[in-house]
Structure 1
Amino acid sequence: MAAFYDAFISYARADSKAFAIALKEQLKVRGLSQIWLDLDDIPSATDWQGRIDDAIERSHHVIYIISPSAMASPYCKLELERAIAYGKRIIPLLHVGGGDSAAWATHDPTGCATIRLLNWIWCRDGVDDPAQYLDKLSRTLHVCDEKTGAEQPEVKAYLHQHTTLLTQALGWDRRHRETRFLLVGRDRQAAETWLRTRTIERAPLPCTPTDLHCEFITESIKNASNLMTQAFLCHSDQDQAAADQLRRSLLRQGITVWNYRTDIQTSQDYTSAIGQGIEEADNVVFVLSPHSAQSPYCQQELAQAIALNKRVIPVLAAPVEPELVPEGLRTIQHIDLTDNTQASDYAADESQLFRQLNTDAAYHTEHKTWLVQALKWQRQQQNPTLLLRGYNLRRAESWLKVARTHRHLPTALHEQFIAESLRQPPNPALDVFISYSRVDSDFARRLNDALQTQGKRTWFDQESIATGTDFQQEIYRGIESSDVFVFVLSPESVNSPFCADEVEYAQGLNKRMVTVLHRAIDVADLHPVLAKLQWLDFREHDGDFQANFAGLLRTLDTDREHLETHTRLLVRSGEWDRRGRDESLLLRGQDLQTAETWLISNAAVEPQPTGLQQEYIRAGRARQEAEAAAEKKLRRGRRLGVLAAVAGIVVAAGAGWLARTEQQKAIASIEEADARIAQADMQVAEANTKRDKANQQTETARQETQQAKRDQQEAQNAATAAAQAQQTAETRAREADGKAQTAAVAQQQAEASAQAADAKAQAADTKAQAAEVRAKDADIRTANARRDQRLAQIGTRLEQAGTFALSRFEFNQIEALLKALKAGSELQTAVAEAGIPVKAISRYPAASPIFALQQLQVNLPRGLLAHQDFIFSASFSATGDAVVTASANSTARVWDLKTGQSVLLEGYIDVVEGHTFFVRSALFNATGDQVVTASDDGTAQVWDLKTGESTLLEGHIDSVTSAIFNAMGDVVVTASRDGTARVWDLKSGQSTPLEGHTDSVTSASFNRTGEAVVTSSEDGTARVWDLQTGESTLLEGHTGSITSASFNATGDAVVTASRDSTARVWDLKTGELTLLEGHTGAVTSASFNATEDAVVTSSEDGTARVWDLKTGKSRPLEGHTGSVNSARFNAMGDQVVTASEDDTARVWDLKTGESTPLEGHTGIVRSASFDAMGDTVVTASRDGTARVWDLKTGESTPGACQVCKEG
């Protein structure tokens, strides 16, 4: 089946069957091989009308062969109606003349009128030249100029895009207009350009967009703009016809419109939705009539628009008495539709409306943009992360200056919000840098808005780079200042040299990187740095942005303190380096101590400290030590300075007193003071050597020192008087100088005596400190002796345990590993309590458990410990002695839980490698000797665990979501995202496709006999396939994607789970349907118990429910704090195990109502199931481990599946 056809041939068999067949062959000769003709292209036993509709939809042209029979044919009429409805380019060929035109006009007025307006090609048998009309038709279909034969590539491209967009729009419409089927990125931009095309090379368009085209493209634009629109359409119910006409006109121009009939979602509050629609619209188009003028709803909407200073454009749909016109509209010129008498009148009014909308369009868009941001800020208690920054702030500031003089003024909230944005501190620390391709601007903008709403400070180039700045340096500074580097994955971004440069710069700064998958990529194109990372797939949860965004928030909030410190030190070290390593920018005091602690404790934590950060911290320590040494030297200098000052005072005093007769008294006083100082120093030294008298002697020294200071003060006072007298004693200066020198010598001798006293005091201090150290050493030796005695006792026991572990390794590896782990754990506890450094463990006699663990790790195969990536599923073998896990690291693993013998490490604990993408599921056959795996590489594989050989099952063209054996183990059924399931006969190697779904198949499973298969799909249906006849029974009724479908034990009923928050039980014999309603979120799984009288469901609302099918009542299982991914009964049906995104599983006793949490995983638990006996559970988690839980003890086995990520 071709994706698209060159043309669809519509004809009446009675007149033109032979002509149509010959025409197709002639066109094929002329290079047009994709011509659709019902005689050749409708397989037997298929819905022929559905095939015809599909072919018209996917054809670039429709060839309508005119004949009398065609004019009267209801089938030709239906085909022509469909072609017109789809806006197809129709080419009429007159084959047989003589039809009754009047009867045709009566029978098919629309078709007849349309055909009459077109230029026909005459193809009458025996009348017109076949070569001539075939050449003309061929040129038309090849989209060439009819006269010159020159190709018209722009016309052809427009025509083909019409067909492509039509198929996409119809697919969106058939899938309940879900957002995930709208256009994004480059596809949306190209569609916008196409829609706004009016002529091609000044010629009319070959075909026109349909209303569905326009709605599909403008809804895509609206989605890209966070649901903000260019026009809010306000009208009363009685004016619906006029409103619809206006809406179609606006959409045809590519103008996005908000209307209550199409934009209020189910369960959304009507009033708040209307209010939000007005807030987020550039303009309000008010359909004025007597009804709307008196409608309280319309008046309320108008009042809100005027209060927000919105531009209101009134359109008069019916005459209104002047006194009834709302006051807010009386001074506004309106567009009058009431005087229209012909189509051209409406076209003139339409043009007037478009002119008004286009006038100052940029101003009103910014009015709306800043208002919406301000309202978010106000409603979130003035959340500072929503304030404007960088380029956005400069733009808003400029807009505000213009707005104050505009007719539609800014609101008070505009003013307050922009003023507050201007007052915020410059260059705040940032949480997230967003790297993306311009093609993905829509998604990146939505991501940025969502992050800011959640309190994250973001760097987003559309907001952060002002015009005229060095954008490259701004980008580098943004990366440097952000805690996390978020990269949006798309085909364009992974091939962009600019994005690659940002990745490399972030890597050079050791930034934490998070990748977000927006659109499918070729992993071979990934940058080596990004290839190492596990991306967050925003296509999951049916493309639900909010559901996927929650996962991103959890990732961003991990290790926040470490990331903030990393960024802070990176910014400061970068500034220090750029400014020539200015020492004034180095860390000091508590900041330095905190940074050193961070550096030591986070040396191995990702992202690791950079070399520049380490240099910066070391430079700060060196600077602080240098300053301490300088301060010590300065203090010593100050002491000497004080002594020199005293000497100077003495000099001055001596000179003054020599001028007077009382100089000798001053010298005597100074000598007496020096003697008292020396005496005090001696007393201090004596006090230090005699500790029992230290306090008394210190007090005496203090008193005598104070007396000496008083004497010195008196000497200074006398010196002042001497200085005054010195002016009259110049004749005796020489004698005074000589005697002053004598005094200075005496002072030097006094200083030497004081230094000697200091030395004695220091010696005494040293002896006292030494005594204290010896006392502490004695205490430490006593404690060490006691510790060593205790360690010796523990060590003897643990040494024996370690030796035993080593001795058992050859015979029972898992037992040896468990013994060594237990002993090692006890050793770690004992050593930690004793305060022994980790590096010193080897000196103690109990180190053999560590050596045993090291030896076991060396000898174990690397596959034993765990997967290196998260695990999608884990399931038991039928006997319960083995588990198989499927992982995102492209492998599956089989784990032995029973014997643990060494031979099993080579032949039984197998790493099933060979897939190139995620392995989504892995299951045993009934005998446990084979495993089937399903992978994202589009294949499944069947593995023989005895021989190690595998059989590749190829045929799907997209990811395989599940694979399962039948009861005999000789047939496998697979489900795929390519919209099909396949049944594989393992003996013959043949596969049978099960085709009928129109979207991804989410699950497929056999009934007990293996004669039937049930499949579920994202198209909202399930199907039951009879493998003997090939026929299928459609189970339809859900309004959302179906996540799972499975039979009951007897195979006469099916239960389905859906994202529409319901499950359904389908009785395949009677056709009866039981609706299971009660969940408030998507239902993720549903399954029967063994006795078929109950169903258990799990849901994203955080609960599971057990449904009694006899009474119809349900019992909620509440306790999880996150979405529940799966729920399963045990064999007896008296217990249920659930797996949740809150990182736990729970086992529920249905008799007592009690639940037992299974805690230990550090990531989302994706699945959980019982073994056959019901006393053991296996869980699979995104933390890269599976765990086997003993329900009697409540413990999980720390063995093959659970020992963490060393594999």
Structure 2
Amino acid sequence: MSLFVSYSRADTPIVRRLHAGLQAHGRETWVDWEGIPPSADWMREIETAIDAADAVVFVMSPSSLASVVCARELAHAHAQRKRVLPVVIRDAGDTPVPAELARLNWIFLREGDEFDAGVARLLEAADTDLDWVHAHTRLLVRAREWQASPGDASLLLRGRDLRSAEQWLAVGPTKTPSPTAEQAELIMASRRHATRQRTLWMSVGGVALAAIAVVGSVAILAHRESQRQEAMATVRRLAAASERVREQQPPDGANVAPAERSLQLAAEAIRRLVALGQRSFDADLALRRALQQSLEPVRSIPLPVATRLAALVVRNDGQLAWVANDPWIVARWTDAGGGTRVLTAGRHAYPDPTLSPDGRWAAAVLDDGSGRHVLAVRAVGNETPSWQVDLEAAAIGVAVAPDGTVAVAVADDRRGISRTRLIRPGDLQSRPALPFLYGPAFSADGRWLAGLLDDGGIGVWTIEAARSGDARPSRRVDLPGASKPTFSVDSQYLLVPHGEQPERVAVVSLADAGAPKVFTRNAPNSVGPGGRYWIEPDAGVTLAQLLRADTGLPLGRLLRQAEGLAVFSPDGKLVAVEQPDAVDLWRVQPQGSALVEFDAGRESMAIALDAGGSSLLALRGATLTRWTVGSADAPSTRLLGEPPERAAFSADGRWLALVQHDRLRVVDTANGGERLLVKLPRPVHDLALSPKGETLVSIDDQGRLTTWSVASGALVPAAERTASDVAHLAVGDGGGPVTLFHFEGNRRIGAVHTLRSWPMPDSIAPASSPLGRERSGFAATPCGVSPDGRLAAMALADSLVVRDTRTGADVAVVDEAAHPPLCSFSADGQWLATTGPDRTLRVWEVSTRQEQARLELQAPARAIVFAAGGTRVAVLDEEGAVRVWPLTPVDLLAQACRRMRHGMSEEDWQRFHPEESYRATCDGLTAAPGPG
């Protein structure tokens, strides 16, 4: 492990001690002790040393943070994606810390800190993922050598080195440090050279053996294979570039935000996969991550007057209302009404004009030039003011409720009186006074009034208390540094920014008196329903981020750069975004790359997808609900009698088995028709339907297994079968096996489950095999059984084993899936989904043992189901949300095309496909604009 140490000469004594400590642990360090004045040759030597090092130790102190040379060393390390390990020897104080260091975890070796423990932490950080770091360093040096002599083919990668480098590049976006452009160029050039060499040798062989037709065919196939490999290498390069650019700062003059460019690159990678008829996990993951930060564009509405907006409201149907400053402009846009209607209402003074939360009323404090302060309120769309009233003093803040009631905070400096007046449309003389509120705000339902009090607290009044003039707030929230509050669009939450620390926001639930939750995020522009999502500014990169308020994690980003307003519609499904000359409407998509999201409820017992994945079914109590994927229509519901104690769908969602007290039923989910009804002699503890609903198996409270033919209602002849303590029951169609995980005896550490599989009709003993033990000695953990009972999955310490239940042979070992709490097979056993502690759903192709998709969950999964053929997967989580994801490249590309406004730019196309003419990634999309 080699380390480059960047430091200031003022810190030489402590650096010498650190250097000695690292060398004592066998670490090779590069430290410039000579203090040579900077020169071109000297700087090249420094950069070469950084390139050759596995990591850079930046010794942080006020001296090094102010050093120009240290800044150059840090910049070069950052450009080469080197792992940087900040070691603090003296606190920075007022000295600014570069962003490249501020975002990292620091190691402290200050006076008073334990030196040996700090060195140990530094070594631990340096050794993390050491093989990856060594490969990064080796490839960076090779890339620099090749760039110095670009015509020297001997410097390119070959054979095993090239294949290893391509695999390294494919996983690079998930690693730290990430691959550099130079490394990617070296690997791509090496692949092109290898392809040309292979084609050349095949051509020579074809000439030499032209008389042998078989050899000629082989040459053609080899050429096609080389073309396929080169195409796949391009796919990997596009995917890697998509990952790299997504979080980058946009260069000067950029017309496309990084998130949008990332989506374009990943979509083009998937388009090429579709053309090849191939899959690529790297491209799939890159596009899903790009979709995570995207919304669907709806329309762009030009602003008829070039001005900055003071307030903006979007309704659920997409209608807009906005007001602007100096002059006071009130405008409304409606699709059905033929466009935009603009009213100019005159000049105004401080504060800015405002809108009611539903966009029906506009209010402003006007200044006629004579010193009068006039509060004017109008219904949006009317030609004349609805009413106006003189104020006794200057206004500091103004808000208008959905019913037109206005709260205006006035400050009379001459009399030293500051208060908030509440003025109702029908009684302009009745003005109950409340304490002075900075930034008053009404909730969208008109029930609440909130604002910042003089003493720094947040006061919240019910509208009845406010109208009565009750000076005491219905609720008071004391938050240090509180600033102007914002209501969520559904009036359930109040968000309070920290005025002195703008990156901190408190979320206050209005339904209970619990303590606010504080998140390290920017102050929001708008807050979605339930307080789950909000929009925050993200200056200089994109307009805003959608965030989940219970975790503070980002869910998506708008794709255009802007500095204006952004607001949710009341249902949270639309976002209106102010641009310099227009208002853009975007549709908020389900989380990540999910096609759709449904609320099935926390009490849901089971879910299913139909064979084509076009319908989702969920059983909640006795109610069967069916949603059509991709449709905005309300779901259909069907009552199935009393709530069942047990339930199971067939794999195609056509049939549903129910245990209701002493009755066992199988019903048709399409029409509710009853296909099987039997009376149970004993309580049932578990049951399963075969994939097509032909066979039903149950286990009673004494462990006896019973099997029925659903069509005839007859018992399937079987020998006596018992199995207590059963997990993951399954049964196949047409004579398929009954399969389960079985545990006998006392549960104790090291006890082993048995996988048992009975053929049907059951005239012989079951096939049984113990699950086995991990290397630690603990028993393996049962995970799941395929719907036809022919495959079973079990978790070991560091892998997931798939076993053939008929032969007991292990048919696949899936890596990186240690102890998943939940597994699910597709109906044909070709696909396996697993969840882990990191809240990701991984989808594996069993035959190739390869991960094909990785989906990010918002809550732990309770159930996973596939559509036929593995085209889609649905997950029911612990919050009751069901999300449906596409799994095929074709569906994923279609989803990306709905969210893209442009294809790749001409510049990007030339970079990645210089030998090809430009073609659009999606039909109807033109190339993205280049740098302006």
The normalised TM-score by structure 1 is 0.24
Structure whose CA Rg is larger: 1
* Higher strand residue share: 2
Higher relative contact order, structure no. (Cα contacts within 8 Å, ≥ 6 residues apart): 2
* Higher helix residue share: 1
The normalised TM-score by structure 2 is 0.30
